[in-house]
Structure 1
Amino acid sequence: MRKLGYGMNVSLDGYIAAPGDDLGWSMPSDELFQWWSDRVDATGLALYGRKVWETMCSHWPDADRQPGATPEVIEFADRWRDMPKVVFSSTTLTVDWNARLVTDDAVTEITRLKSDDGHPMDISGATLAAAAMRAGLIDEYAVVTHPVLVGGGTPFFTALDNWVNLSLVETRTFPGGVVLSRYESRR
């Protein structure tokens, strides 16, 4: 059975995007960028909600061919393109870059995907992750906290019907005061 992780950059007050979908506060250091790249490399299947998908596919498909692309950007772009992806959306019409589109019930499909064997899956996107959280499908939370208060926007966590007990399995500090806290669900 596959494990499902949910990890994103988060402001100290708990948001993954500031008002207006502003992500300018979450620019990673080289060390954090490499951590995210290594996470993509270890991911067997990425699950994307529509907004995160649109953000990722607006940049990464050809980021390695842009002037001044660093070896790290080239590596990430290659890893991202090669990684199998599932996009959950009722409005997106087509997907590319080793992705397939699911327009049906996300929880049913995620449950089916978890029952397969394989490398871990990662979920990205607040709305999609919220549905998986409420269904008790997330096994790991990787909260990459940036030392900034943005005052509102898109929250990392959703309102839940029941508590989710977690065990801390890793902490790590990155340049600029960014802190990774990685937790596993206790069931």
Structure 2
Amino acid sequence: MAEAVQSWWMDPELPEAYVDGSGRLGMGTDGLARKNLAEFSHAHADYRIKAHQNEYDRVDAILALKRSMQSRIDHLDSLYGFKQYPEFRQLGPLGLLDHWGVIRRRMLHRMRQLRNAVEHDGAVPPTLDECEDYAEVTWWFLRGTAPLLMPITNIDYSGSFSRRHRI
């Protein structure tokens, strides 16, 4: 059973503050396997796009890109426990990451819808150029979320606390 996750947030506008977040939890074997699954799925999609022979390669690429994104979301959820945040019920995982300023979800949401249409409704897959665009968006998603895979476990703070009163 997974250990409960508790998160703490600090105001980045603390006056005269120095925060050292160097105490990072190692990724471990399971974390590395999860990280690799997302990256290998993306590499598979890239291969299918580059070796494009027919529309089935494009379908496979879109499915692999969605699998890559979902693998990363699941990994982040295992670390941060998305459901503990009140915003999660309304926003979902992509919306929560967008709300936190980690990603912008518009194209990722569009890709999820496209994947559902292609896989479940038999829709025509996107063009090769569009597949390349989705692969790039997914690549940026993986890079943008990679630093979150090793959460900070301790913080050394040196500074003074004071309350500012606004009039």
TM > 0.5 between the two?
no
Higher alpha-carbon Rg: 2
Q: TM-score of the superposition, structure 2-length normalised?
A: 0.26
Q: TM-score of the superposition, structure 1-length normalised?
A: 0.24
Higher RCO, Cα 8 Å, sep 6+: 2
Structure having the higher strand fraction is: 1
